[in-house]
C-alpha cells in the first residue's frame, strides 16, 4: 500500500511539508505543488529536511508551478523529479490513495 502525498504550501509559511515528512510512511511519494514547490529548492533552511526524508520517500515537483514562480530546475535538490500534469495523473494512478497536506 502506498500513498501519494501532495503539499501545496510554502515550507516557510506553514509546517505542512514538515508534518507530511514526519508522518509519511516509508515508500510513499511526495508531490510538491503550488507554493509547495519552494520546498524542492536546494540551499534553503528547509533543504536538509527534504534531503533526509528522501531516504524513505520519493519527491516530485510540478513543472508548471515551478515555471510560474521563476524557479529554475537547476536550483532543485538533487533527486527531486519534475513532472507535468499527466505525470501528476500517473502518480495518482500508481498509488493506492492520496493525502493532501494543506
DSSP-assigned letter for residue 72: -
Strand order in the sheet with 3-7: 81-83, 58-62, 29-32, 3-7, 97-101
Q: Which phi and psi (to 5°) does residue 3 adopt?
A: -115, 140
Residues in contact with other proteins, total (CB under 8 A)?
A: 25
Q: Binding segment for other proteins among 16-24, 48-56, 59-67, 87-95 (CB under 8 A)?
A: 59-67
One character per residue 16-35, x = contact with other proteins (rule: CB under 8 A): ------------------xx
Binding site for other proteins (CB under 8 A): 8-10, 12-13, 34-35, 38, 41-45, 47, 63-65, 67-72, 75, 84
Amino acid at each position: 500500500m502506498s500513498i501519494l502525498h501532495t503539499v501545496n504550501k510554502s515550507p516557510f509559511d506553514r509546517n505542512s511539508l514538515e508534518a507530511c515528512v514526519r508522518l509519511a510512511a516509508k515508500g510513499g511519494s511526495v508531490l510538491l505543488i503550488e507554493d509547495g514547490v519552494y520546498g524542492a529548492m536546494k540551499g534553503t533552511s528547509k533543504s536538509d529536511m527534504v534531503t533526509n526524508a528522501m531516504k524513505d520517500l520519493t519527491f516530485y515537483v510540478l513543472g508548471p508551478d515551478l515555471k510560474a514562480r521563476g524557479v529554475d530546475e537547476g536550483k532543485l535538490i538533487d533527486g527531486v523529479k519534475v513532472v507535468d500534469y499527466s505525470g501528476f495523473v500517473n502518480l495518482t494512478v500508481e498509488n493506492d490513495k492520496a493525502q493532501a497536506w494543506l
